[in-house]
Structures are given as C-alpha cells and as structure tokens.
Amino acid sequence: MYKLIDGKKVAESIRNKIKDEINSLDTKPGLAVVLIGNDPSSKVYVNLKYKKCMEVGIESYKYELSEDSSEDDVIELITKLNDDKKINGILVQMPLPKHINRNNVLKAVDVSKDVDGFNPESIGNLILNKQGLYPCTPVGIIKLIDHYNIDVKGKEVVVIGNSIIVGNPISQLLLNRMATVTVCHIETKDLSLYTKKADIIISAVGKKNLVTKDMVKEGVIIFDVGINKDKEDGKIYGDVDFEQVKDLCSYITPVPGGIGPMTIACLLENTLIAYKNQGKDK
C-alpha cells in the first residue's frame, strides 16, 4: 500500500511556523514580486504568492511592467529594489518576454535578496554546498524527503527534466546528499531504461502521463512536479499516471497538493531567512 506525501499539510505547518516567528518580530519582512508582461499563468502565480505572503505577515509589493519594457527598465527597477530597505526578497516572475535576457536579469538581483535562488552566485553556493538561498521547488522536495524520513544516500535517483528552476538544482541538492543521480531530459533516448532502475523518481517536465506503470519498479518513491491542465476536463494533472502507478509506489506525491504548496511555503521561508540575514549585517 502506497503512502501519500501530503505536501499541503507539510506546507501548512511550515507557514504556521513562519507566521508565529513573524508575529514576534518588530518589523515585517518585505517581498517584491516583479511581473513583466501579460502572461495569464504568471498573473495567477503572482496573485497566489501575494495572498500567501499576506497570510503569514510578509509585506508583499507587486511591481508590474509592460510587455514592451526594455531589459534596462527591468534592471533599473531591480537595482532600486536592491537598495530599498523595506524589501528583503526580490522575485522576478518567469517566463520573461523574449527580448529580455533572463541571465542578465537574474544576475542583477542582489544575492542577499535572491529568494528564488537563480542568481549565478546562489547557484554557485548550491554547487559548493555552501549556505545560501536555494530555489524554492527543489528545497520543497528536500523538505518532504526529510519530513517523511526518506534516506537518499546511495539511492538511485532519476530526475526527469534539467531546467534551472527544478531539474538541475534538485539534482545538485541530491548529489550534495550523496544520492546517485541520473538526469534525463528531452534528448534521453529511452527514458524507461533509467526510470525502471530508480529507487526515487522526480519528474519535472510538464507532460501528462509521461511516467506509466511499465516504467517503474515496485517500491519506488515518486515526486511529481509537473503541472498539466487537461484541456478536456480542465483538471490539473502531474507528469505521472497517478492512478496506474500509485500501487507500485512506497510513497508518491499527489498533483495538486504535493509539490505546489511546498514551493510557495519555501518562498516565504526564503524571504524570512533573507530578512534575518540582512538584519545580521546591520
């Protein structure tokens, strides 16, 4: 019988802890969320982050720039936010309009306020296994691994997807914990060759039913990061065919209610960490 990894519940307890800690502070941490353009999903995510910030007592400041803003406009805003004392964390919502170079924008965010963990220095800290602000979704997965006492040392982990947001950083975090990590991606010739051997599968692709019953071994642990809105029923699905695969698993995350709530909880936690670290510098 599989166990469901309840990200919703774990995220709630993280948010409650954050709320209690913020209640005891003299000032409130501040998070700036920068949205460029009109991407409808980005607007939904930004509003959700705003709401969750308010619930735990983080002041959230929304900065909306038009689709035709230049890279200089964006970097000018980020530079201002870097210098703004009431802002402790800066998040630039992805994806950016095509004419803006993502790396230049991410590099502009001060590393002490880089709550998304995408600044090259933050990525360097992750690879060097140094303390720092790490990307929220991968940190959320690690928190679930810890919460459920899952030992990853020496385990065969297959990560599907190699994006800078999820696939690469979670691979590195697991390597830092001495897992044996295989990273698969769109050019992987035979995905099932790898997934069949895996003790743990982390799928971060965005393709419904990518992982099916015949691709996994009995007792596997699955973290499904994918978010896929089905055009027919309008429901959200992960990358894994949950109904088919669940009985082979020892643990599995549901979608929704698995990784998603953890991502936001870790963003709030990163904002609080950034606030506290900046206080130490004064």
Catalytic residues: 49, 93, 116
Q: How far is the CB of 227 from ligand NAD (least distance, A)?
A: 4
Q: How far is the CB of 203 from ligand NAD (least distance, A)?
A: 8
Residue at shortest CB range from ligand NAD: 206
Residues that bind ligand NAD (CB under 6 A): 137, 160-163, 165-167, 184-186, 188, 191, 204-207, 210, 225-227, 259-260, 263
Q: Specify the residue, 57 or 206, whose C-beta has the smaller distance to ligand NAD.
A: 206
Q: How far is the CB of 26 from ligand NAD (least distance, A)?
A: 32
DSSP string, the chain: --EE--HHHHHHHHHHHHHHHHHT-SS--EEEEEEES--HHHHHHHHHHHHHHHHHT-EEEEEEE-TT--HHHHHHHHHHHHH-TT--EEEEPSSPPTTS-HHHHHHHS-GGG-TT--SHHHHHHHHTT-SS---HHHHHHHHHHHHTT---TT-EEEEE---TTTHHHHHHHHHHTT-EEEEE-TT-S-HHHHHTT-SEEEE-S--TT-B-GGGS-TTEEEEE---EE-TTT--EE-SB-HHHHGGGEEEE--SSSSHHHHHHHHHHHHHHHHHHHHHHH-
Amino acid at the residue 224:
D
Q: Specify the residue, 34 or 87, whose C-beta has the smaller distance to ligand NAD.
A: 34
Q: How far is the CB of 181 from ligand NAD (least distance, A)?
A: 14
Q: Specify the residue, 60 or 263, whose C-beta has the smaller distance to ligand NAD.
A: 263
Angle between helical axes of 40-56 and 7-23 (0-180°, round to 10) = 50
Q: How far is the CB of 85 from ligand NAD (least distance, A)?
A: 30
Tracing tokens 């003299």 back to the chain, one arrives at: 26
Q: Specify the residue, 47 or 79, whose C-beta has the smaller distance to ligand NAD.
A: 47
Q: Specify the residue, 162 or 176, whose C-beta has the smaller distance to ligand NAD.
A: 162
